[in-house]
């Protein structure tokens, strides 16, 4: 009897190698199931709306390139390098578009403001084309006026859409 009691006592002592009892197994299984359900439900939506850390939408690179082009135009105007201004203005006017799937995600996010977002892009294109033509004519005053229109179009779009866009697609990280 002493041997049976000793064996029973040994089995009931917790050890780091022993498996959890049935109550703990059920709780661990339930927590795992809840975690998996949350991951399955929220994971795809998060992955669809927000790039993973380090990933960026193609639009982000396009915008960075446009920013560099705007700085190049400013430099060209200050040096009256009309050829540089003309070439760079055409890069702005004819900037690349994001891939179709990305455009669909962006326009879906924009919802009822999608037309307004597209209108800003159209204004930027037209103003940059006018800037290129003014630079081709080497008309400094017309270049500056056209460049003002490009800047106003960019600024208007950024004022309206940049913050919500960054929050939605990047968690607010600029």
For the chain, what are the domain ranges?
A: 18-49, 58-170
Q: Quote the pLDDT of residue 13.
A: 52
The fold for domain 58-170 equals 1.20.120
Q: Quote the pLDDT of residue 171.
A: 85
Q: Quote the pLDDT of residue 116.
A: 95
| Cα–Cα distance measured from residue 122 to residue 61, given in angstroms and rounded to the nearest whole number | 19
Low-confidence ranges of the chain (pLDDT < 50): 4, 7, 15-19, 26-54
Q: Quote the pLDDT of residue 170.
A: 86
| CA dist 12 → 5, 18, 19 (Å) | 11, 10, 11
Give the residue among 62, 68, 51 at the shortest CA–CA distance from 173: 51
| Cα–Cα distance measured from residue 162 to residue 173, given in angstroms and rounded to the nearest whole number | 11
Q: 125 with 96: CB under 8 angstroms?
A: no
Q: Quote the pLDDT of residue 47.
A: 39
> pLDDT of 29-64, one tens digit each?
444 444 434 443 334 443 344 444 446 789 999 999
Residues contacting residue 127 through CB under 8 Å, at least 6 positions apart: 146, 149, 150, 152, 153
Q: Quote the pLDDT of residue 110.
A: 92
Q: 124 with 157: CB under 8 angstroms?
A: yes
Rounded to two decimals, what is the model's pTM?
0.67
CA atoms within 13 A on the CB side of 160: 16
């Amino acid at each position: 009897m002493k041997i049976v009691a000793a064996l029973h006592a040994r089995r009931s002592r917790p050890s780091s190698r022993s498996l959890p009892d049935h109550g703990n197994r059920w709780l661990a299984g339930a927590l795992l199931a809840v975690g998996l359900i949350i991951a399955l439900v929220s994971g795809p939506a998060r992955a669809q709306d927000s790039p993973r850390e380090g990933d960026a939408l193609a639009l982000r690179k396009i915008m960075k390139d446009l920013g560099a082009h705007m700085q190049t135009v400013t430099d060209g105007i200050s040096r009256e390098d009309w050829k540089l201004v003309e070439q760079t203005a055409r890069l702005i006017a004819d900037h690349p578009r994001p891939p179709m799937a990305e455009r669909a995600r962006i326009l879906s996010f924009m919802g009822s403001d999608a037309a307004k977002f597209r209108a800003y892009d159209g204004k930027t294109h037209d103003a940059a084309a006018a800037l290129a033509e003014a630079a081709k004519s080497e008309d400094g005053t017309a270049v500056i006026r056209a460049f003002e229109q490009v800047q106003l179009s960019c600024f208007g779009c950024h004022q309206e859409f940049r913050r919500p866009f960054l929050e939605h697609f990047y968690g607010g990280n600029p």
